[in-house]
Structure 1
Amino acid sequence: MESLEHLTIIWLGVLVAAFAARKTRLTPVLYYLAAGAVMVNLGFLPAEPDPFIRGFSEIGIILIMFALGFEENTSHFLTSVKRTWGIAFFGGLAPFLTAYAVADMFWGDAKVSLMVGLAMTATAVSLTMVSLKSEGLSRSKAATGIMTSAVLDDIASLALVAILVPIATGGASADIASIGLILGKVVLFFVIVVILAAWILPGDSAMLQRYVPFLRRFGFRRLLAFAEGEMAVLVLFLFAMAVGIVAHLEGFHPAVGAYMAGLIIKEEYFDSDSDEDVAKREAAYESTKRIVENVAFTWIGPVFFVELGTKILFDVDLFVSVIPQVLTMTGALFVAQIVSASLAARYTGGFSSAESLMIGFGMLGRAELCFVVLDIAYVQNNILTETAFYTLMLTAFMLNVAVPVTIRLWKPYFVRAVGAQENAGGNTGNTMAKSADTV
């Protein structure tokens, strides 16, 4: 009964946090963490959660990562890769190296520095897109660049989590053979994902029909259409858990598998053999997507962040002691992220200067994957010290606050520059048309 009482208190905190996030236009993750911290320090929640809450929170982060992958348009993502690979690479490498260097300067522990760098690498794309949407910029070219590069950044970060966490936790040594084994597991896992995406899930490949014909008859489309689509959400969550288990067997965090499971699900899988009505397919897809997002982001997923927030036990002396680390880490990452992402957007992606700076601001946030790494490194394996954990939590908070603030401050210049660029393009087009008429 005590577990149910704790869950009820957590859900109440989630509701209050969601209300505060809507009023301030900041990511709800910040308020979920704050809710956990406040409630544990007031004695409403225990510092050490019982197994039920702990297990529930693990399910939450798996569903969140699946939902983030599921809401991505795979085709749109693939077509934008060529233009945004540089933003993802340089915009991820610079924060990793910067965070690693700052951590090494303060704590001098390679494993701690590795986890700090890893936590500060991935961008919080959901926070940025919410901020851009609130400013009416979610359909801009800059938004597309941020979305695609952030997804690439997250995938690269997931691969790094898979490779580096076993080394940092002592599960594997840093010799060539051990690293080779880990890389082999990474390759094997992604090969499995590619096979699922290319041949198993589509259900209409020649290889599938020839060698595994029963999958065509009882394949993924049929499962999603079973009972008129009423079981679609269960099928998707079952698939996410199954791929997450495969990832775990390969030595990765289950969230890695869940994200990849969501990424390879396509809207056309909601077609059935007997129903080719596009409108019905889109309605089924949107309805399922809405339920998945509701479950992941509203009532199960947030438990993970609230539970993680309960690790923040207020200690005035500790908070004061980490001020130099927090200011240094935040300042260094703020500059490194904006400069690296903006320059990459300008010179490898061909974006304008105004768009490039907007992309740099949009990639400041740190959310889901950052806290997954913190959970692995601090809660599960005790790699991070208490000082390092508090430093990263406060740094993530300040960077996330910077996203809506910088986007709002830059918006007038951005709109003016993009408008001038479009007008120039229109004038050029008119001049060319007039020349053509003259000829």
Structure 2
Amino acid sequence: MTLELIKMIIFILLGTKVAGHLCNRFNLPVVFGELTLGLLLGPAILNMVQETDGIAMFSEIGIILLMFLVGLESDLNLLRRYLKPAIIVATFGVFVPFIFIAILGHLIGMGTPESFFLGIIFSATSLSITVQVLKEYDYLDNEAGSITLGAAILDDTLVVILISIFTAVVTFDASVGFTATMAWDLIGKKVLFFFIMYLVAKYFITPAMNLSSKMNAIKAKTAMALVLCFAFTIFAEEMGLSDIIGSFFIGLMLSSHEHSHEIETDIDTIGNSLFIPVFFVSIGLGINIEALYSQFGLIFLLSLGAILTKLMGGYFAARLMKVNRKSSFVIGSGMVSRGEMALIVAKIGQESGFITNEFFTVVIAAIIITTLISPLLLKFSIGLEQNDNDEVTA
């Protein structure tokens, strides 16, 4: 088992570096090459890499480290500055696809609960895919990048709350009524998470990092940062939020610390040399080629609806907040990818019986198609804005 895992890791690491080289040469987002590599190496084509427990573990660590890095590299003041437009974009970005995809589900013959759950699946945004492209093109520290990042984070939180509300409604017992336990699960846990995060940021992080800097041990500061990262990943899960919400926010809290640059460099080396490539490749492993052929029309319709609803929702919300057209297109494009969050929600739907095993493959294919298209769309929209800025400068 261990040797088989090592063999697959070798294929992934060599493949992602070759894919990265080719993407840079042909001016494509590197993450597009990594996602496509997952399809190539996976069971759909070459069958050199499978979705094993070991690959899943490396992948999970990869996304946690990626979001921790994004937090470390983010400007807290910039995120605060664009909080209001981010809230509006996230709200439109969740409810526009939720409504239209739920209607689509009803039109193709799904029941009401199943249609609503399908809408929830495609309300999610892949924070990791989006930020990887924004990082690659140095777009995290401007208006469009900050709004997109903030909206994607809030989007994930809203989707988690939507799932909680949906589950509460479906399982609601009128004879019992709305209980304190339900209120705690829906809202209380989320409020407690952010309150404790605030207390940790204010009273704990600086003493903990100062203590680690005094230790006579190799990379003690980075180790302490990782302890905080993994601890808040667990805490976020316990509070009913996505684990990446925890890793991002603790990274954000550490971003203003005096040793943040050193920590960022170390985490970047650890993550991008091993774990993060495994995560991106793992997304492409779930494609079933036969399903792509047999259910092509339905997959195409669902994928098109998923892309347009996120793109238009993000675009019009940004325009509503007085963002210029090309920056609004960047923001809308940044909300398109579904990636890991939608995959997780889809799996919940399958296990709960709201998504049948037959339709599950269609949903997964549509999620992966939006994930493959999103980096290209985001790169195109960034290029349009940069060209416009260059013309203004000239």
Short-chain TM bin: 0.7 to 0.9
What is the letter of the counterpart of residue 38 of structure 1? L
Q: Does 1:3 align with 2:5?
A: yes
Where 2:240 maps in the other structure, the secondary structure is: coil
Count residues with an aligned counterpart. 376
Q: Give the distance between the partners of 2:14 and 2:166, measured in 1 at CA.
A: 36
Amino acid at match of 1:154: A
CA deviations 1:284-317 (Å, max 9, x no partner) are: 43232122123223411221232332222322xx
Q: Percent identity?
A: 20
2:341 corresponds, among 354, 368, 372, to 372
Cα distance change, pair 259–381 in 1 and its aligned pair in 2 (3 A): farther
Distance 1:371 1:118 in 2: 12
CA distance in 1, matches of 2:134, 2:59: 25
CA–CA distance in 2 between the matches of 1:25 and 1:379? 37
Matched, 1:387 2:362: yes
Shift of 1:166: 5.5
- Residues 189 and 239 in structure 2, CA contact (< 8 A), matched pair in contact too: yes
Q: How far, CA to CA, are the matches of 2:23 and 2:86 in structure 1?
A: 30
The two structures, once aligned, show a CA RMSD in angstroms of 3.5
2:216 to 200, 217, 227: 227
| 1:301 equivalent in alignment to 2:287 | no
Contact kept? 2:36, 2:281, Cα under 8 Å: yes
| Cα distance change of structure 1 residues 32 and 106 upon mapping to structure 2, 3 Å threshold | farther
Distance between the aligned counterparts of 1:201 and 1:124, measured in 2?
28
Q: Conserved in 1, the CA contact under 8 Å of 2:67 and 2:128? A: no
C-alpha separation in 1, matches of 2:385 and 2:77: 30
8 A Cα contact 1:123 1:153, kept in partner: no
Contact 1:341 1:360 in 2 (8 A): yes
Moved more, 176-185 or 67-76: 176-185
1:70 lines up with 2:39 in the alignment? no
| More deviation, 115-124/35-44 | 115-124
How far apart, in 2, do the equivalents of 1:411 and 1:375 lie?
A: 34
Task: Give the TM-score taking structure 2 as reference length.
Answer: 0.80
Give the TM-score normalised by structure 1: 0.73
State yes or no: 1:23 paired with 2:12: no
| Contact 1:115/1:168 (8 A) holds in 2 | no
Inter-CA distance 353–302: structure 2 relative to 1 (3 Å threshold): closer
The equivalent position to 2:191 in structure 1, one of 158, 174, 187, is 187
Judge conservation of contact 1:36–1:306 (CA < 8 Å) in 2.
yes
Which runs of 5 or more residues in structure 2 are unaligned? none
Name the counterpart of 1:158: 156
Deviations 1:57-99 (A, max 9, x none): 2222222222222221212221332455433433444344344
Give 5+ residue unaligned stretches, structure 1. Answer: 204-218, 271-283, 421-439
Shift of 1:389: 0.7
Matches of 1:380 and 1:308, distance apart in 2: 18
Name whichever of 178-187 and 232-241 sits farther off: 178-187
Pairs within 5 Å for 1:21-170 = 21-41=23-43, 42-45=45-48, 47-49=50-52, 51-82=53-84, 84-106=86-108, 108=110, 109-110=114-115, 112-120=117-125, 124-130=129-135, 132-133=137-138, 138=139, 144-165=142-163
The structure 2 residue matched to 1:396, chosen from 352, 356, 371, is 371
Q: 1:166 to 1:357 in 2, by over 3 A?
A: closer
